[in-house]
Structure 1
Amino acid sequence: MTVVQASEADLPEKSIRRTFALASRLRARLGAKDANGAASRMALIAFVIRVISAAIAFVSQIIMARMMGEHEYGIFVFVWVLVILVGNLSCLGFHSAQIRFLPEFVTNNDIDQVRGLTTTARIFALVSSSTVALLGYFALSLFGETIESYYLIPLTIGLFILPMIALGDTMEGTARANSWALIALSPTYIIRPLLILVFMIGFVHFGEPKTAVTAMTAGLAATYLTTVVQFFNIDHRLRKTFETGPRRVEFGAWVRVALPIFLIEGFGFLLTNSDTVVTGLFLPPGEVGIYFAASKTIAFVQFVMFSVKAASGPQFSALYAAEDRSGLARFALSSTRWTFWPVLAVGLTALLFGKFLLSMFGSGFVSGFDVMVILFLGVLGRSLVGPAESLLTMAGEQILCVKLYAVALAANIILNLLLVPMLGIEGAALAAAGAMWIEAIMLHLAVRNRLSITLFAFARHPVAADGSKE
């Protein structure tokens, strides 16, 4: 679930309709062609950056895995996933609430609230994440003896990274709300992973050991440098665009929107990362490293789903706002087919070269091929209903989406707790795949019941709002 989708999903139906009306007025002012062109450029830039990021992440993880070995690499990826997860969630949805409010404030020429929200979001992110970091430090002090010793120092370093992760996510939200796609996404998805690799290689070159502690130190340096530069860059753009002036803060209204975003994004983020976290809790670091490498190798398949979501979301909005239910049904089915068949083709290609790709991490990582196969079957099942959650969100069914994600997350965690101790990393893969199938079934039923649309890749016809086939 992308940040934009999550930020839109918190709105009640009346607010969604108001947002559509604002978008319509903006298109009228700028011209529909220019507005659509800007949206298309934003989506294209976002997709290109994510693809480049995936390639960088894949290559950098191979290099770091070969440098550190399975054990130390497993420690690093487990702690790093925790840091990214907790850092993002510690914003409590405020980073994405900007994407909901800032365009509306700009459209209404309410620049005082623009200044107030951007400033408040930064302060809130730093305070909340620092509070979480302090609580984490006290937890390590009290319960450190119950944690494996090789995790303690990396976890402590991770606590110092949390505030910069939260601030970086907040600055990304500010930039995305202003359609500054390149400076919004490139720091997190391109610059930071490159700097982690550069710092790691540099530290090792000057005699530091090839351990998870060194890798986390590289992550600390890269995150602070990236976030600080991003902060001053975006702050300069804000001052240049809106100039200095008074700030108006409506914290209560913003929190009421931010918290639903937090729930939706939190469920989605936990759903994506819970398997790695649970494997770290039950399995030795070497197994965690193998699982992470396998999951990241097959993750290329998910970029097909990401691209279709990015392209279909605005069209879903327009068709639903125009009350063109027949067109919405046809487009939804078409989007589903454009999701499933490319996922099948890309996934089979990835599996064809799977053992070779895993061997690039190191000879011991080839044992993760079965994990790749199982995860691919899960992604394939999820692709059968295409961008269903985006369709529901654009149709005002955001509360239902929260409930579905909560059920899918609960199923994922329960399956992980049951299967990982028994089957190891294959159990984690089965849990993740099972949760994806459960999610797909629930989304299919939800779309059918709420929108009267049959969203299934092999469906011959969509079902329009009046129940007739198109």
Structure 2
Amino acid sequence: MAAVDEDGSRPRDAGGGWRARATGLLERVTTAGAGRAAATAFLIRVASAVLAYAMQIVLARWMGRSEFGIYVYVWTWTLVIGDLAHFGLAYSVQRFIPEYTQAQAHDRLRGLLRAAPWFVFLASTAVAALGVAGVQAFAPWIDRAEIIPFYLAFATLPFYALNNLVDGIARTYNWVNLALVPPYILRPLLIVLVALAAPLAGFAPDAASGMGAALIATWLTTTVQLVVLRHRLARVVAPGPRAYDPRHWAKVSAPILLVFGFYSLFIYTDVIVLQLLRPSAEVATYFAAVKTLAPVAFVSFAVLAAVAHRFAEHHVSGAIDEQRRLLAQSVRGTFWLSVGAIAVLLPLGWPMLRLFGPGFEEGYPLLFILAAGLIIRASVGPAERLLNMAGEQQRCTLIYAAAFAANLTACLVLIPTWHMYGAAMAVCFGMTVEAALLYRTVRRRLGLHAFVFFTPKAA
């Protein structure tokens, strides 16, 4: 299922005081202030969901279904490659920063914070150059309407990869606003403004103009993030000598890269395969259905924003009881908040899809299939992040390789017959494989239960 980047809609009460219970769950997700970070992240993502969902509607109506489908396809490739172009460093910093801070290895901390942005920018620029060369080489086999959008996507890539790095650093320091506001509030707003202004400059309302707007918005917002991050780091990290340990960084980052590489392929496979086998208009309809359920994924995102670095801290310090308590609370919070969000969104799905334009309501049955997969996945909470922060990156790699293979196989088998409904069924199957393997691995490797109905109460 295409992961959320900038979408969603506003949750409402599902009756019976659901909002009060949800707030209570979210506040108890973590200890020592992490619940506040989770609540902040959740509120930012909900606010961004309203704005971004409106953005998708505006772009769909502005471009039309076919061009919007091309835009979705190319932007999905940007997300896939952008999640790989930093070579795992955007994720591993969430492990290195607590490790160096607790060990008072301030020289290594300063070296990491200085070198990481330069490495990510240069590495992702090299990846983008290879991508441009690949488009040129395969141009005869690529739809002509996709070529210019692909060039613009690769121009976006270095700044998108930098955004991932800034996000990881900022969340580790609990600077949730810095991590989330620029990409999830400012970027979608700028995309809409630039896209709507494009015809005034003589550009057609098509996928190329949409990707051009995404390029400008990503450059601007990431630049703002970098400037603010540098200013804040100067206040919390004292100046002094720097030490660099690139071998250690690479050794830790490489397995994490494989984990999130397979994860990105897993969650974006449906859109990519659907575009290869079906018309762009159908991709647009499927994408609109996925985005209608995007707030469900925001629940998991909010929890991860608070617990990822705390998993690392508890692992480094050997605080097993705290780790067990944190896992129990995060699994329960993720599951029940996800169920509540789905209960709200399913009745609203039909009118929400109609907002995209004529024909988009055909995707309403997809919501029920996709919702089943989301509930299954939510039942194990942030299990994959726990494994990564506990040094089990290789196990996570195998899990997501298996989930990706299951999803890809199911897409290739089901989409030719069931079309976009086959893509949704493939996603549900892949999420079931993912959840089962995550639970089994956490139980065997860490001795913990990462399942909502079997998670023991903290001692």
Give the structure 2 partner of residue 54 of structure 1.
Answer: 49
Q: Is the 8 A contact 2:311 2:390 kept in 1?
A: no
Q: 1:239 to 1:144 in 2, by over 3 A?
A: same
Give the structure 1 partner of residue 9 of structure 2.
Answer: none
Q: Is the 8 A contact 1:455 1:462 kept in 2?
A: no
Shift of 1:241: 4.0
- Per-residue CA shift, 1:305-329, capped at 9, x if unaligned? 344555666489759944449x93x
Give the structure 2 partner of residue 430 of structure 1.
Answer: 425
Among 348, 351, 356, the alignment partner of 2:351 is 356
Cα separation, 2, equivalents of 1:79 and 1:318: 40
Q: 1:448 to 1:84 in 2, by over 3 A?
A: closer
Q: 1:143 to 1:359 in 2, by over 3 A?
A: same
Q: Which moved more, 1:435-444 or 1:423-432?
A: 435-444
Shift of 1:222: 0.9
1:67 corresponds to 2:62: yes
Give the structure 1 partner of residue 299 of structure 2.
Answer: 304
Q: TM-score, normalised by structure 2?
A: 0.84
Paired letter, 1:427: G
Q: Is the 8 A contact 1:452 1:463 kept in 2?
A: no
1:270 corresponds to 2:248: no
Cα separation, 2, equivalents of 1:47 and 1:92: 27
Cα separation, 2, equivalents of 1:238 and 1:339: 31
Shift of 1:60: 0.8
Calculate the aligned-residue CA RMSD, in Å: 2.9
- Per-residue CA shift, 1:132-152, capped at 9, x if unaligned? 111111111111011111100
Cα separation, 2, equivalents of 1:353 and 1:413: 30
Q: Is the 8 A contact 2:152 2:215 kept in 1?
A: yes
Higher Rg: 1
Give the structure 2 partner of residue 295 of structure 1.
Answer: 290
Q: Is the 8 A contact 1:279 1:288 kept in 2?
A: yes
Give the structure 2 partner of residue 174 of structure 1.
Answer: 169
Q: After TM superposition, list the pairs within 5 Å mapping 1:305-324 onto structure 2.
A: 305-309=300-304, 314=310, 321-324=318-321
Cα separation, 2, equivalents of 1:405 and 1:118: 29
Cα separation, 2, equivalents of 1:452 and 1:352: 40
| Structure 2 runs not aligned, ≥5 long | 1-29
Shift of 1:436: 0.7
Among 117, 122, 127, the alignment partner of 1:122 is 117
Shift of 1:415: 1.2
Q: Is the 8 A contact 1:103 1:178 kept in 2?
A: no
Q: 1:103 to 1:342 in 2, by over 3 A?
A: closer
Give the structure 2 partner of residue 381 of structure 1.
Answer: 376
Paired letter, 2:424: A
Cα separation, 2, equivalents of 1:105 and 1:430: 44
Cα separation, 1, equivalents of 2:203 and 2:326: 55
Shift of 1:86: 0.8
Q: Which moved more, 1:96-105 or 1:261-270?
A: 96-105
Cα separation, 1, equivalents of 2:318 and 2:91: 23
Q: Is the 8 A contact 2:124 2:161 kept in 1?
A: yes
Paired letter, 1:200: A
Give the structure 2 partner of residue 29 of structure 1.
Answer: none
Q: Which moved more, 1:108-117 or 1:280-289?
A: 108-117
Cα separation, 2, equivalents of 1:169 and 1:260: 17
Cα separation, 2, equivalents of 1:316 and 1:109: 16
Shift of 1:111: 3.5
Secondary structure, counterpart of 1:199 in structure 2: helix
Secondary structure, counterpart of 1:89 in structure 2: coil
Q: 1:69 to 1:390 in 2, by over 3 A?
A: same
Cα separation, 2, equivalents of 1:123 and 1:89: 16
Paired letter, 1:56: L
Give the structure 2 partner of residue 416 of structure 1.
Answer: 411
Shift of 1:336: 4.3
| Structure 1 runs not aligned, ≥5 long | 1-34, 465-469
Q: Which moved more, 1:368-377 or 1:344-353?
A: 344-353
Identity rate, percent: 39
Cα separation, 1, equivalents of 2:157 and 2:126: 10
- Per-residue CA shift, 1:258-305, capped at 9, x if unaligned? 112211222222222221122122222111111111011112222333
Give the structure 2 partner of residue 195 of structure 1.
Answer: 190
1:231 corresponds to 2:233: no
Shift of 1:349: 2.7
Shift of 1:456: 4.4
Cα separation, 2, equivalents of 1:100 and 1:120: 16
Shift of 1:384: 3.2
Cα separation, 1, equivalents of 2:174 and 2:336: 31
Paired letter, 1:167: L
Q: Which moved more, 1:291-300 or 1:207-216?
A: 207-216
Secondary structure, counterpart of 1:91 in structure 2: coil
Among 69, 72, 84, the alignment partner of 2:79 is 84
Paired letter, 1:229: V
Shift of 1:167: 1.9
Q: Is the 8 A contact 1:454 1:463 kept in 2?
A: no
Q: 1:307 to 1:166 in 2, by over 3 A?
A: closer
Q: Which moved more, 1:230-239 or 1:279-288?
A: 230-239
Cα separation, 1, equivalents of 2:245 and 2:147: 40
Q: TM-score, normalised by structure 1?
A: 0.82
1:154 corresponds to 2:128: no
Q: Is the 8 A contact 1:317 1:395 kept in 2?
A: no
Q: After TM superposition, list the pairs within 5 Å mapping 1:209-288 onto structure 2.
A: 209-242=204-237, 244-288=239-283
Paired letter, 1:249: Y
